Amino acid sequence: MGTAEQAPTKILYTAVATADGGRDGHVRTDDGALDVDVRVPEAMGGQGGGTNPEQLFASGYAACFQSALFVVARRARADVTGSTVTAAVGIGPNGGGGYGLTVELTISLPSVDSATARELAEAAHQVCPYSNATRGNIEVRLTTA
The reply to whether 134 falls in a domain is yes
pLDDT at res. 145: 86
pLDDT at residue 1 is higher than 50: no
- What is the arithmetic mean of pLDDT over 9-31? 96
CA-based nearest residue to 52, from 85, 29, 27: 27
What pLDDT score does 4 carry?
56
**27 and 40, same domain (yes or no):** yes
Residue 135 within a domain: yes
Longest dimension (CA), the chain: 47
Residues of the chain above pLDDT 70, percent: 96
* Domain CATH number, residue 46: 2.20.25.10
What's the whole-number mean pLDDT along residues 53-58? 97
Could you report the per-residue pLDDT of 91-132, keeping only the tens digit for each? Answer: 999 989 999 999 999 999 999 999 999 999 999 999 999 999
pTM to 2 decimals?
0.92
Does residue 67 fall inside a structural domain? yes
Task: Specify if 2 maps to a domain.
Answer: no
User: What's the chain's average pLDDT?
Assistant: 94
Report in angstroms the alpha-carbon separations of 140 from 39, 53, 130.
25, 17, 10
Same domain, 23 and 57: no
- How many domains would you assign to the chain? 2
pLDDT of residue 65: 98
